[in-house]
A = this chain, B = another copy of it.
Amino acid sequence: MLLYLQPDSDVPLYQQIRDQIVAGLATGQLSPGDPLPPIRQLAADFGVHFHTVNKAYDLLRQEGLIRLHRRTGAVVVCEPAPPEFRGQWRERARVLLAEAFVKGIPPEEILAECTALLNSFQPANAHSDLSGGAST
């Protein structure tokens, strides 16, 4: 799993690290049980301070996506979503979808983008293909 950072982005470095690990989880490049590199090693690979990586790992821990142990390191767990997750996620999705909508992108195309992205996720769910228009 290859990671790269954009130091001049408006997205904080620890957030970029967290986001790419989440994306790696979705695409199946990372699976529950897999170990993550030690924070100091990952920091050295990126050329950032280990505190920055530590903050990213701490975020992922708070989200229930990884578990941290001394000596053992970080491992992927992917705990189920807490009750408040859906509502908060929906609000963020509302703004993101609204942005595309008001910029004139047709709702069918927006949905097609989402479908394509979801289909690019975990091969474990490859049996449930979300083509939508293929069967009609």
Interface centre among A64, A96, A98, A104 (most CB of B within 10 A): A98
**Complex contact A98–B25 (CB within 8 A):** yes
The one of B80, B110, B119, B122 that contacts A118, using a Cβ cutoff of 8 Å? B110
Contact residue range for chain A? 35 or more
- Closest chain B CB from A96 CB (angstroms): 6
A105 close to B81 (CB less than 8 A): yes
Residues of B near A107 (CB, < 8 A) are: 118-119, 121, 125, 128, 130
Query: Quick check: is A7 within 8 A (CB to CB) of the other chain?
Result: no
Interface residue ranges of A97-120 to B (CB < 8 Å): 97-108, 110-111, 113-115, 117-119
User: Which residues of A from 66 to 86 have beta carbons under 8 Å from B?
Assistant: 78, 80-81, 85-86
Q: How many copies does the complex hold?
A: 2
Tell me the bound Cα distance from A97 to B93 in angstroms: 9
User: Which residue of chain B is the closest to A92 with respect to CB atoms?
Assistant: B96
Mask, A1-36, CB within 8 Å of B = 1, is 000000000000000000100110111000000000
Residues of B near A80 (CB, < 8 A) are 103-104
Q: Is A26's CB under 8 angstroms from B97's CB?
A: yes
Please report A residues at the B interface, Cβ cutoff 8 Å. 19, 22-23, 25-27, 64-65, 78, 80-81, 85-86, 89-90, 92-108, 110-111, 113-115, 117-119, 121-122, 125, 128, 130, 132
